[in-house]
Structure formats: structure tokens, C-alpha cells
Structure 1
Amino acid sequence: MKKKSSLQVIEHVMFDFLIIGSGIAGASLALKLSALGKVALLCKESFFECNTRWAQGGIASVLSDEDNYALHIQDTLNAGVGLCHENVVQKVISSGPRSIQQLIALGVQFTQNTQCNQYDSEYHLTKEGGHSARRIIHSADMTGIALQNTLAQKVNENKNINLLEFHTAIDLIVTDKVAPDFSRNRALGAYVLNEKNKNIFAILAKATVLATGGHGKLYLYTTNPDVATGDGVAMAWRAGARVANLEFMQFHPTCLYDPKSKNFLISEALRGEGAILKTITGDRFMEDIHPLKELAPRDIVARAIDAQIKKSGAPYVYLDISHKEPSFVKNHFPGIYTKCLEIGLDITQEPIPVVPAAHYSCGGIVTDMRGRTGIKSLWALGEAACSGLHGANRLASNSLLEGVVFADFVFEDIASIIADLNLYKNPVVPKWELGTAAEPDEMVVISQLWDEIRRTMWNYVGIVRTEKRLARAAARIDQICQEIETYYWNIIPSRSLIEVRNLATVAQLTVKCARMRKESRGIHYSLDCPITDDKKYKKDTVVLS
């Protein structure tokens, strides 16, 4: 017998702007939009639990006389293997220095340059894979923490921002669903679950923004936190938006291999400062793979590591920076040094065991340069969006750049049409209907589905793919989606149920995109189609809702 729910449905609340997601993209935009009205900033856990919080390396931007826009643009285009939208790349990169200065003005403490004889910059700049110059501004190896701490302070001080922590967006509210007689689909806000108070309500807003981050939890091994479940992509898809390029999931080459601890990213900046990849027998292997060796683009390094793991049978390879002076390592990488020391590993004396892990999605909700999604009054930015910046593979440290720069672009767009937004008349929005739904008898159903999705994606839609693996993934994921939809409408919504539903939707869309691309390009590598085919596939993989 199903348990009666204590969950309550309450009245709607109104804001000028609803932003779902509290990372660098969402929080930066909230601070800007607060000058125009009341902002609801929604996050599933605390403000700090987002992908930005875990970013180590930094933000790529042209900040010294040794660098220029043309070089950064070309590096980005090279990494994207023909799929970057060049106009977007040019605009984002040329806007980078202005956005960095805005962060500095907010109070972000970036590492100062104490080696002015090397390059002309006030701040220390490091170099990562695929970059032709030092251009990564950072805060030691804990840039994400520095960003979130500063943004949190500014958000909490701002009286026009209502920070709604431990609130999970269930679904977007769009006119196609609640008032289909409207001439064009328009976003009205979202239905939201308040986990602490156990109630569901609608947040209605003139403008709704998805800054929900990525979906690394789609895979068994990931550098992402538990909140990265693709909520924005899934909700936008169900609302009628287009998605694209979901086959391009970037696997970070170097995640700490330690069965006892949560997946921990080992920043690419280590390789930028001379760390060497070695087999478990101590042999360097990247010299024969790519001219840039350890600083080759991430997809190449990840595949090389994956090949070594499969060849040796060992579950990891080594990343060795122990040849550097201990003081250098401790000063440049205090976070990584401390974390490794906690598990008994002194990286100044011994190599780090590493394994590739799902890290960043280059695909997402299709947007233009203003962050518009195609659904009126709905914008998307950051990792949840497919803006055209990354193409088939993201250049290292361009992600935080995209988030903060697009916060400017979206703000400027909303500000330019604010008068029109104020004129919109909203239809009557119904309360969330619980119907006959009840509490589940056992949570094991949800955990079983979650585990199946992640293992299926890891085994069949991972670093190296085949047509047979993708077909198997499609069959099982489609079945899981059907099971979840049947289960979903009979069960009281909970965060775990909402997340597993979203994961399944994004898994289905990812497999669909991967099966459409009959070639290898960037992050998407197929053993059956190893050649890059510009004649047929030099285009985005767009899936229509």
C-alpha cells in the first residue's frame, strides 16, 4: 500500500526574473539583472554546490602582451574541429578581458604575477592543453572556490535577489502546455519543489533563464558534483526547445583514481607546468601520440590514457610532477597537494594515479549569441547551452569564460526588451496537480534506474564508441525512459525522482545525437567511423523536440 504524502501544493509567487542555477553564469547574471527588478535565484542544494565550485584551472582570456585575440580564437577553433561558430568565438573572446575586470572589481582574488620578467601581466597566467600562449588567470588551483565565495557575498548582500536554496525545478511552465491558444510558445516560469518545507509551487516570471550546468552524472565516473544531472536540458526539451551536439561529452583526462574518495579533478594546469603522463611501469607515452605531448587537446589525451588502461589492464596511469621543486608544487597547487596528502600521497615525491572521467558537455540547449532559446522569454547560458563556442571539443578554461561573458550578453538582451516583457499578459497558470500520486514504497527503484543509466552510458557511450554499442544503449535507455514515465506520474515528486527522469531524458538525447554522427570528430570517436567527414558532418547535430 502506498503511503499518503505530506507534500503540499501552495500558491504561485511572482518575480521579475527567474534564474535556475547558481554557478558563475547564473550568479553573475542575477547580480546584473537585480538592477532591473526582483530576481529569484534557484539552486538544488546550497549556493556553493555547482560545477563552478569545483573548477580548479581558471579562466582563459587575452591578458598579456605575449598573447592576442587572433591566437586565442584560432586555438578555440582548432579544438572545436570545424564546428565552432566563428562569430560566437570572436565575440566571446574579444569580450573576455572586460568580464575578467568585472570579476576583479567584484573582489575575486586572482593569483598575482611575481615573475614579471616572463610576460607583461599583473596576474600570474598559466598554460593548458591546446593553448598557444599563457592566458589562464586563476586563483592558485582553487579558482572555482574563489569565484563562488565572492559571488555568494555579493548575492547575499543584494536585496533584489532572493536566493532559494534546496529548491528543485520540476518543469518549465510554457504557454504551449497551459494555454496552447497563444500564437507562440512562451516561458512563464517553472514549477518548483521546496525540499525543506515539502511543498510545490509555481514561480512566475517575465524572463526565465536556465543556467543549470551540465550532466556529468550521466556517467559512472565524473568530475562533476551530484547536482549535475542535466535538468536544464531535459526541462527545455520537454518545453519545446531544440538541443544539439550532445554526443560531445568531454572526458577530462586526469581524475584522481582513489576508490575511497569522491572523484577529484587533477587540473590540466599540472601538465601546463610540466607534469608527465606515464604508464604504470613508468614509461612516458604521449611523446609518440601528439607533437604537443601532454598538452595535446583533451580528447586526444583522454583516448591515449584509455588505450593505455585497456592495454595494461591496470585501472589507471600516472601523472608525475615529482621532478619539480617541492616548494613550486605546493605553492602552485595547494589544493591538489593537500587533497592527495589526505589519502597518503605526497605528489612532490611520487606520481598521481589518474583516470579519465566525464567532465563537460559541449552540447546543450540551442541558443543564439544573446542566449535566446527559440522559446520566447526563455534564455540559457553556460554549460546547459549550446552557444556555438565549443564545437566538437572545448578548449581548456573556455567554460568559465563562456559563463561570465554570456551573463553580459543575456543581461544586455533582456535589458533591451524589458519594456516589451513588462507588457506581456500571462494566462492563468494552474497549480501543480498531485492527482492520485503517492509516496513510493521503496526508493530502490530510483537508485536501480540511476545506476543502470550511468553504467549503460559509461560502457556503451563512453570515450570510444561503436555502432553496436550505441544501438545497445539506445534500446536500454528507451526502455528505461518508458519505465520512468510510467513510474513518475504515479509517485509524489522528489528531488531524486526528478533527477533520474532528467538523466534518462538527456541520456536518450545523447545517444540519438551520437547515432546521427557517422564519423569521428573531436570528443566523439567511433571505431566504426574513424575518419572526419567534412562533406556530410561539418554541422551541428540538432534534435528537434
Structure 2
Amino acid sequence: MVRHRNLRRYLVGFDTSTLPQIFTDCLVIGGGVAGLRVALEVAEAGPDVRVTLATKTELLESNSYYAQGGIAAVTDPVEDSPEKHRADTLATACGLADEAIVEMVVGEGPDRIRDLIDWGTPFDRDGDALSLTREGGHSARRILHASGDSTGREISQTMAAQARVQSRIVLRERTYTIDLLTGDTGEVLGALLWTAATGLTVCWARFTVLASGGAGRLYRESTNPETATGDGMAIAYRAGAELEDLEFVQFHPTTLYIAGASRALISETVRGEGGRLLDRNGTRFMPEYHADAELAPRDVVSRAIVRQMAKTDSTNVYLDLRHLKAEHLYARFPFIRTICRDFDIDIARDLIPVRPAAHYTIGGVRVDGDGRTSLPRLYACGEVSCTRLHGANRLGSNSLLEGLVFGYRAGRRIVEQLAVGNGTSRPPRLQFTVAHSDRTVLDVDDVQNSLRAIMWRNVGIERDARHLAETEEIIEFWQSYVLDKEFADPRGWQLQNMLTLARLVARSANQRQESRGTHFRTDFPERDDAHWQHHIVRSVASASA
């Protein structure tokens, strides 16, 4: 039995009776497409409803904003069908997706696309028809995109504009959520917030929604913005919520690799348009690994790249677009063209150096089909949640769709609950004191960098028992010096969250003694349905937590 010996209920001491108070019907934590969709839906409940949307940094700083490839939905019933999209999703999920959830998301997807179009999202078109592309794992052209390779940015900006003019939504940017507040029965009463200007603030909410994104920044190599440190999963865990499938982390095969520079995503759509992967010797290697070559599922392509790098003793492979028309590439991928041009790389004439990086957190806070968690009055949607749509591996461009569908469904459920008066109660006085720690204070930045390095090295694309156990042991050591401290700013709280979540990820990866989807064990290289076709759930209350 593994327990966090230093894990306490709240990260800071407080007394709600002495702090500024906010009262709201619905508190949404996170401003990606999932959080915005919840907020917009709940705000339509009536003229008296109050929605508070709190974001860690600026409203648009999220994984949603940086999504390049597009959003998958069946909008061409002649060439495509919901049955095909469902089959593609299930095939990629490697036996762990919930078929009812897949059918629901695929079926409701076109309606959520219509919402975006009605709000003014400028999807690319071929004449009057939507322009559709194909990505790895998809059997048909069903990926909608906007401004070429800036789909997430266009969708996020469109939805943010709707939220900003909605008078019933109060935006609280640069607001860090430290912890969820819970009552004696475990129901979530709101959250403890912090801003640099006001310090601690109590937000009492009839319903709370976690939409704070994923945890890609647990890894040294990551496509995610700096905000993606898994805070929502960690605070839900401390509050007593169940987390699920944490061992499944998707690594994107192609990020621009320039030594010393931040990693930049090179969208999967580039390979969908005909891009080829070459090793340092100029050999196209993907046909050796999978019949679909560059259009194989992401986990297959990522492992193939890692193995080819090892074979050729190199730090990266190359994406080759030189056989494609330059005018088409420049028009289709303006953002990627700009990124590469900053490093004197012409995407139509030069090889693009790439390597895999952590991209998407498949596991998260366990929810049902309406985004309800295991805790009363707490919902979750988007990458912070685990909906069982993706199973053990996510089909490309399904994540924005998932965020929109679950954001809408969570919003509708909350509207129904508000209409019957649920969630109304007099807030109690909550107090918490943190005991003084005499342990040496470690350097926060150094521990964070070291954590990201060991997660990349030992809990990355390929894993084994020895390195996973070593990682758990090292993280437990860091926890003993960090989790008992009371920090006064987000740098410290974020590190505490990262350490909490990283150990859970490593523990789950060690527990699953098979290879499935994004989780590959070199010591258990085969899929084992007889013993492991089930989900690993973690919580502070469970014996395995």
C-alpha cells in the first residue's frame, strides 16, 4: 500500500471568516474550450445566474489555444459517417474506451460544431463547403481547421469573445486556485483562490467545474504551455476525488527540435498532407514499423522515432515536405511556416528536425457522461478529466471535440440543478492550520527541472519496472522536503501539485504490467487483456492510492 505520508488536505492555512468572500452559482476553473463552453451554457440559465470563470494566467493561455491540427466531427455524411468515426476512435483506444461515451461524443459532435459556426468561428472552406483534412488513425477526411494550422486559436478567440460580452460571466484572470473547499460530507463548496493583488479569497459556489487542462509540463520535452502542470488533478485528489488512467500520457511524434529552444508542435496534419519521416541517413523508416506508415497512431509513430533515433545514434529525425507544392504548404500551414522560419528553416525546401514530446494527458479526474465527478457538486471536463472517450490512446483531433461536448453537457446538467434549487446552503466556517516544518528548504526551480527530467527519462515513451520504482523513490524523497512546506505564491504550490501528480502517474505506470496504447513497458511488451483490460483508479481513500 502506497500513501503520501506528507500529503495534507490543504496547501495553506486559512480561516474563511477572515478572508474576502465571493458568492457565485457556478465557479469554472480554467479557460480553454471546455471551461468556456460550460460558462457560456450556464450563463444562459437566466438573468439572475452568476458564473465566475477563474484562469491561472491570461484567459487564452491554454492547450486549447495552441491546438493546431483541428477538430474531428462528421460534417460530410456522403464520404463519412458517425459509425466510421466511432470505429476509428475505438480502434485507437486499444480496448479501454467506453463505447457508450464514444457514441455520445461522436453523435453530438456536429451540433457543437454548429454552435461554433453560429458564434462566428472562421473555419476554412472550399467554396461553400467546409474544408476537411485527414489525420493518422482516421479513415476519412473529417478534420475541420481554421486559419490553416491555427484552429485552436480561432475557436478559443471566438468563444472568449462570447464570454467577454456575456454580463452574467465574471472573468477572473491571473487567479490561482489553491484548493477546493469541502464540507463535512465531502461535497465541494467552492475554492480557495489567490491573486497577487488581493492574496487569498474564498469563492463559495453552488457548483464547481474543473476545466484547468492537462499535465504535459510534468515532462522535460512537452508541447504544452507552462500553465499545464496538472494543478486541477492534484487539487481534486487532495479533496478526495477519484483519478483514473493516469498511466496513459500521449506523446506527440513531431515537435520542432532545435537544441536550446522551446519545443514547438508540428501538427499531425502535416503528415496527413503527405509529410514523410526520414532518419539521419535519409531513410524513410515508418513503413518498417506500421502498414499506415506516417499515418499510424501517435503512440506507434512516437515509439518508432525513438527507436530509429537509437539505431542511428541521433537526437532527432526529420520531417520531409520537399516533394509537396510550396504554395500549398505556405497557405495550409502559415503558423508552422513562421515558427520554422525563425530558425532559418523553409518548410518546402528544408528538412525539419523533429522528435516526440509529451502532448496530452489521457487520464485525469474520473467523470460520468455529464462530467460529474465522485464528489458532490464537483464537475470536470476537458483534459483535466478522464471521460473514457480516449481509452489507452487518443485519436488525433478528438480532444477539442471532447471538451466542447462535455462542457455543454456539464453546463446543461448544472442548469437543471440550479433550476430546482440544488447546491443552495449557508457556507460553513472552514479553518485549517499548517504545522511548521523544520526541514531544509529545497530550491523550487531546481526540483521542478529535476522532476521533469526524470519523468521524461523514466516515465516517458518506454518504461520498465526498475526505472519506474526508482522514480517513485526519488519523488517520495522530494515530497518529504516540499509537501510539508507552506508556500506563499504559485511557484511553490505548483511544485507541490506536480510532485503529487507525478508520483501517481509513476505508480500507475508501474502497476499496469502490460503494454497498451500510449503505455509501453519494455519488460511487459505485450497487451494483456486477460489481466489488464480495466481501469486503474486512485484516490486518497483507496488502499492503492
Measured against the shorter chain, the TM-score band is over 0.9
Q: Secondary structure at the match of 1:34?
A: helix
Confirm whether residue 270 of structure 1 aligns to residue 285 of structure 2.
no
Q: Secondary structure at the match of 2:523?
A: coil
Q: Which residue of 1 aligns with 2:3?
A: none
Show CA shifts across 1:124-145 (max 9, x none).
1111110000000011100111
Consecutive unaligned residues of structure 1, counting only runs of 5 or more, are 1-7, 115-120
Q: Let me know the Cα RMSD of the aligned residues.
A: 1.8
TM-score, scaled relative to structure 1: 0.92
Q: 2:39 aligns with which of 7, 25, 30?
A: 30
Q: 1:21 aligns with which of 22, 30, 36?
A: 30
How far did 1:435 drift?
8.3
Q: Which residue of 1 aligns with 2:459?
A: 461
Letter in 2 for 1:69: P
Confirm whether residue 143 of structure 1 aligns to residue 151 of structure 2.
yes
Between Structure 1 and Structure 2, how many residues are aligned? 519
Confirm whether residue 129 of structure 1 aligns to residue 141 of structure 2.
no
Q: Which residue of 2 aligns with 1:524?
A: 519
Q: Which residue of 1 aligns with 2:95?
A: 82
Letter in 2 for 1:53: Y
C-alpha distance in 1, partners of 2:517/2:231? Answer: 25
C-alpha distance in 2, partners of 1:260/1:161? Answer: 41
C-alpha distance in 2, partners of 1:403/1:419? Answer: 24
Show CA shifts across 1:92-149 (max 9, x none).
00000000000111111000124xxxxxx81111111100000000111001110121
Q: 1:172 to 1:373 in 2, by over 3 A?
A: same
C-alpha distance in 2, partners of 1:429/1:420? Answer: 25
Conserved 8 A contact 1:12-1:431: no
Deviates more, 1:343-352 or 1:257-266: 257-266
C-alpha distance in 1, partners of 2:425/2:165? Answer: 32
Q: Which residue of 2 aligns with 1:117?
A: none
Letter in 2 for 1:216: G
Confirm whether residue 451 of structure 1 aligns to residue 449 of structure 2.
yes
Q: 2:538 aligns with which of 519, 535, 543?
A: 543
Q: Which residue of 2 aligns with 1:153?
A: 161
Letter in 1 for 2:155: L
Confirm whether residue 107 of structure 1 aligns to residue 120 of structure 2.
yes
Conserved 8 A contact 1:254-1:265: yes
C-alpha distance in 1, partners of 2:155/2:437? Answer: 41
Show CA shifts across 1:280-316 (max 9, x none).
1111000111110000000000000011112222111
Q: 1:523 to 1:54 in 2, by over 3 A?
A: same
Q: Which residue of 2 aligns with 1:3?
A: none
C-alpha distance in 1, partners of 2:260/2:469? Answer: 34
C-alpha distance in 2, partners of 1:202/1:429? Answer: 11
Q: 1:423 to 1:99 in 2, by over 3 A?
A: closer
Q: Secondary structure at the match of 1:417?
A: helix
Q: 1:477 aligns with which of 475, 478, 484?
A: 475
Q: 1:498 aligns with which of 475, 493, 496?
A: 493
Q: 1:481 to 1:420 in 2, by over 3 A?
A: farther
Q: Secondary structure at the match of 2:125?
A: coil
Show CA shifts across 1:32-88 (max 9, x none).
111221111011110111001110001000111200011100100010000000000
Conserved 8 A contact 1:244-1:513: no
Q: Secondary structure at the match of 2:428?
A: coil
Show CA shifts across 1:228-254 (max 9, x none).
000111011000011111111000000
Q: Which residue of 1 aligns with 2:53?
A: 41
C-alpha distance in 1, partners of 2:221/2:426? Answer: 43
TM-score, scaled relative to structure 2: 0.92
Confirm whether residue 66 of structure 1 aligns to residue 79 of structure 2.
yes
Q: Which residue of 1 aligns with 2:67?
A: 55
Q: Which residue of 2 aligns with 1:189?
A: 190
How far did 1:426 drift?
3.4
Confirm whether residue 402 of structure 1 aligns to residue 410 of structure 2.
no
Q: Which residue of 2 aligns with 1:361?
A: 361
C-alpha distance in 2, partners of 1:332/1:40? Answer: 37
Consecutive unaligned residues of structure 2, counting only runs of 5 or more, are 1-15, 541-545
Letter in 2 for 1:43: T
Conserved 8 A contact 2:242-2:366: yes
Give aligned-pair identity as a percent: 39
C-alpha distance in 2, partners of 1:309/1:508? Answer: 28
Q: 1:351 to 1:233 in 2, by over 3 A?
A: same
Q: Secondary structure at the match of 2:356?
A: strand
Q: Which residue of 2 aligns with 1:170?
A: 178
Confirm whether residue 510 of structure 1 aligns to residue 505 of structure 2.
yes
Conserved 8 A contact 1:316-1:354: yes
C-alpha distance in 1, partners of 2:429/2:62? Answer: 30
Deviates more, 1:153-162 or 1:387-396: 153-162
Q: Which residue of 2 aligns with 1:319?
A: 319
